[in-house]
Structure 1
Amino acid sequence: MRRTPVGLFALALASFALGLAEFVIAGLLPDVADDLSVSEGSVGILVTAYAAGIIVGALALTIALSRIPPKSALVWLGVVFAVGNLLCAVGPDFAVVLVGRILAGATNGAFLGTGIVVAVSLVDARSQGRAIAVMLGGLTSANVLGVPLGTVLGQHFGWRVVFGVIVAIAVVATLAILAVVPHVASAPTSSLADLRHLLNRQALLSMGVATLGFGGMFGAFTYVALTLTKVSGYSEGAVPWLLVLFGVGLVVGNVLGGRWVDRALDATVMLALAGLLAVQIIFGLLAGHPVVAGIALGLMGMFGFAAAPGYQHRVMRHAHAAGAIASGAPIAAVNLGNALGAWLGGLLITSGLGYTSPVWMGAVATVLALSLLAVAVRSARSR
């Protein structure tokens, strides 16, 4: 049995802090709005700004940092991420907190892109998918443990305390990276000109699959609290604990996907998407049954995230000539999917199509993702 390099656990701790900063804000928005004297509609910009920062950081900042050693880049990104969250913790007004969210989001995208390059360099070629899954395990753990606990902590001691905790975790993770992550060979230096390497057919199709697959899952998940309370009949107090089921599903799916993707990349992604589609259809049809809705929520997380290591691996395989951009591009793609899925889901609800409409929108996106993947696999075989 191959031992997991200790450096991967330092990277996973850092990704836990990244995931906590990204997702915990959703449960704290009402408190943030009250404290900063802004409307709940306006405070949602803090979520959008973070996602936009991830997309920009995953591409532009990854390119800029490709000129320095990867370990040094991770340490500097960890420092800036801590500073961004410190601004959120102590910012006196909405503008300062917004700047903090943009800073933290930009470093999030670049850190994941650079961190994945480091993660795969710590293992042999047969274990690269598993290494990606170990690092991304921090994100899934943040959903299982961090978000519910962070929400409770914010409700009792204030939302700023939560961001103080994120700063502390970020500092510990950065010191751990400094101590235990070895210096690895730099990926080929990237520039804006290297974006052309993402324009090959397989890389573009892979990013399309990632955008639609993740957008379908998180578009449904963004409004799942409304589905659970308005359709399934759960109380608002039960929702945080039901979301733990989703988080557990993410962890299980990430582990399984990371193991299987090294054996059969395309088959793993295809089976995961097919499972996600089946769950979304069942959820949409039977959301009024509380037990079925709870089980479907967990399975949606499992199948949705089982494909995640495959998205990353497939883009990196077909766009390796792009250097560091190849690791940042799929991160930008999935966050574009998250933003589009949440936006479209909100439009459907606002249009009066019901609280299960985001689930059906997710199912349509998953069908499109499966179709693109089938085209990609057929094209690769013909070549």
Structure 2
Amino acid sequence: MPFALHLLGLAVFAMGTSEFMLSGLGPDIAHDLGVSIPAAGSLTSAFAVGMVIGAPLMAMLSLRWSRRHALLIFLLTFLAVHVVGAVTTSYGVLLVTRVIGALANAGFLAVALVTATGMVEPNAKGRATSALLGGVTIACVAGVPGGALLGQLWGWRAAFWAVAIVSLPAVVAILRAVPSGGGARTSARRELRALREPRLLVILLLGALVNGATFCTFTYLAPLLTEVAGLESAWVPALLALFGLGSFAGVTISGRLADVRPVPLLVAGGVALLAGWALFALTAGNPVVAGAFVFVQGTLSFAVGATLISRVLYAATAAPTLAGGLATAAFNVGGAIGPWAGGVAIGAGLGFRAPLWVSALLVALALATAGVAHGVRRRTANEREEVPTPTL
């Protein structure tokens, strides 16, 4: 893998850290800016909404620019709003910076996906995608706990400064390694026409469902471990990091197999993921088994999820930028729907095991959708073969 690709992954690491780090900084932000904790929590929601809306919109906007130009604009905007966020004393300004930062994050990831795959051979999209998404998994392992630690030592603003500083090497990488004319400009109409492919739409739906299952449980992992598994709260950060290690293992597996054996990986991984969520729900009361499933499900979730992102790029070679934007949006839709569905289940009095069953249901829906789509595709192919060829 080109070294510049790993530096793009560093920018993705900074962005992933920014997206998730407020979970550990909310109380300090609320106290410092004189707002309620729910108001501080809405900063995370604002980022998520910006990611969902911004991914396709920013990808479409970037079609006017070269990839180098687009990456620099998005990354420098992301960097600048974190500097503003680090110095502001206004909650309103901080909220606006979170939305703008999410838009820049979404646009950067959409363009970075197609740029990364353009740096490697045409049959190595899975490896490039996994190298880039490794930044997200490292953010789960080190970035989010690191941001929380900085907040404890020097205040929440230090975490914002750290995200801005970590983004700087990627700026240098883009200037040095991405050609100034990188990526041919294409029209939005031409790319939109290429996105009508039913196979692509199915893959996007599968990605949303699988990611929804992942973040349904991940969001409520802390109360699951303390209330159901009976672990002390001091164990929660370590197990969250274990989930992150599993996710890193998952994208590594995807990088090795997504280009050469994607279908076996998706089928076997999907079935194992469904079985894992169900078994996790049944055995969640055992802390040792629960800890093992945290790692296993993190691995399976990201192995399947990263492979689905690479399949989006393979399925939409005529619309790579918008495909990257839609992949980003689909996975963030899953990241919003999953926690919402898990919260509904908990609110209905089903207990903290409920998100595990919701995760199993979402993966089951993904497998059923894939099965129906495969059946329709085979039937259509058979019908085409049965149409008699006109003879002269």
Q: TM-score range by the shorter chain?
A: over 0.9
CA RMSD, 1 decimal: 1.7
**Are 1:133 and 2:114 matched, yes or no?**
no
Superposition TM-score, scaled by structure 1 size: 0.95
User: Match of 2:340, as an amino acid?
Assistant: W
Q: How far apart, in 2, do the equivalents of 1:246 and 1:165 lie?
A: 23
Bigger CA drift: 309-318 or 95-104?
309-318
Output aligned runs, 1:80-159, within 5 Å. 80-159=77-156
1:204 to 201, 204, 208: 201
* Percent of aligned positions that are identical: 37
**Structure 1 Cα separation of the partners of residues 138 and 30 of structure 2:** 27
Matching of residue 310 in structure 1 with residue 316 in structure 2: no
Cα separation, partners in 2 of 1:318 and 1:381, compared to 1, 3 Å: farther
Residues 230 and 287, structure 2, Cα contact 8 Å, conserved in 1: yes
CA contact (8 A) 1:126 1:262 kept: yes
Work out the CA distance in 2 between the residues paired with 1:196 and 1:42: 41
SS at match of 2:84: helix
| CA deviation map 1:36-80 (0-9, x unaligned) | 222222222111111111122210111111111101111111100
Distance verdict in 2 for CA 1:355–1:208, change over 3 Å: same
Per the TM alignment, residue 33 of structure 1 is displaced from its structure 2 partner at its CA by: 2.0
Residue 35 of structure 1: aligned partner: 32
Could you tell me how far apart the structure 1 residues matched to 2:84 and 2:349 are? 38
Read off the aligned partner of 2:257 and give its amino acid letter. Answer: W
Amino acid at match of 2:36: S
CA-to-aligned-CA distance 1:73-120 (integer Å, 9 cap, x gap): 111111000112222212212111111111111111111110011111
Matched, 1:241 2:233: no
| Cα distance in 2, alignment partners of residues 99 and 350 from structure 1 | 30
Q: Tell me the residue number matched to 1:169.
A: 166
Q: How many angstroms apart in 2 are the aligned matches of 1:162 and 1:142?
A: 13
Are residue 25 (structure 1) and residue 9 (structure 2) matched?
Answer: no
Q: 1:262 to 1:33 in 2, by over 3 A?
A: same
Name which of structure 1's ranges 35-44 and 124-133 shifts more when overlaid on structure 2. 35-44
Change (3 A) 1:8 1:244: same
Instruction: Look up the SS of the partner of 2:350 in the other structure.
Output: coil
Call closer, same or farther: CA 1:77–1:240 in 2, change over 3 Å: same
Q: Is the 8 A contact 1:188 1:323 kept in 2?
A: no
Q: Unmatched 5+ residue regions in structure 1?
A: none
- Does the 8 Å CA contact 1:7/1:182 hold for their aligned counterparts? no
Deviation of residue 187 (structure 1)? 4.7
Task: Judge conservation of contact 1:86–1:100 (CA < 8 Å) in 2.
Answer: no
SS at match of 2:123: helix
For 1:39 and 1:282, the matched residues in 2 are separated by 38
* Letter aligned with residue 273 of structure 1: G
Residues 1:236 and 1:200: Cα distance change in structure 2 (over 3 Å): same
Question: Does the CA-based 8 Å contact 2:65-2:185 persist in structure 1?
Answer: no
- Counterpart position of 1:343: 340
Structure 2: distance between partners of 1:274 and 1:7: 35
Asked if structure 2 preserves the Cα contact closer than 8 Å seen for 1:71 and 1:181, the reply is: yes
Once the two structures are superposed, residues 161-213 of structure 1 have per-residue CA deviations (whole angstroms, 9 ceiling, x without a partner) of 11110011112221222123344641552426743533332111111100000
- Alignment correspondent of 1:281: 278
Q: Partner amino acid for 2:337?
A: L
Residue pair 1:14, 1:169 contacting (<8 A) in 2 also = yes
How far, CA to CA, are the matches of 1:185 and 1:166 in structure 2? 26
Alignment match, 2:287: 290
User: Per-residue CA shift, 1:209-246, capped at 9, x if unaligned?
Assistant: 00000001111111111111111112222211111100
The answer on whether the counterparts of 1:66 and 1:186 sit within 8 Å (CA) in structure 2 is no
SS of 1:324's equivalent in the other structure is helix
Unmatched tracts of structure 2, length 5 or more: 382-392
Higher gyration radius (CA): 2
Question: How many residues are paired up?
Answer: 380
Whether contact under 8 Å (1:117, 1:187) holds in the other structure is: no
Greater Cα offset, 225-234 or 172-181? 172-181
**SS of residue matched to 1:294:** helix
Which residue in 1 is equivalent to 2:55? 58
| Distance (Å, rounded) in 2 between the aligned partners of 1:24 and 1:203 | 32
Please report how far the alpha carbon of residue 330 of structure 1 lies from its aligned counterpart in structure 2 after TM superposition. Answer: 0.9
Match of 1:268 in 2: 265
Between 187-196 and 143-152, the greater mean CA deviation after superposition: 187-196
Q: After TM superposition, list the pairs within 5 Å mapping 1:192-231 onto structure 2.
A: 194-231=191-228
Q: Is the 8 A contact 1:188 1:324 kept in 2?
A: no
> Contact 2:151–2:157 at 8 Å: present in 1 too?
yes
Which residue does 2:44 correspond to in 1?
47
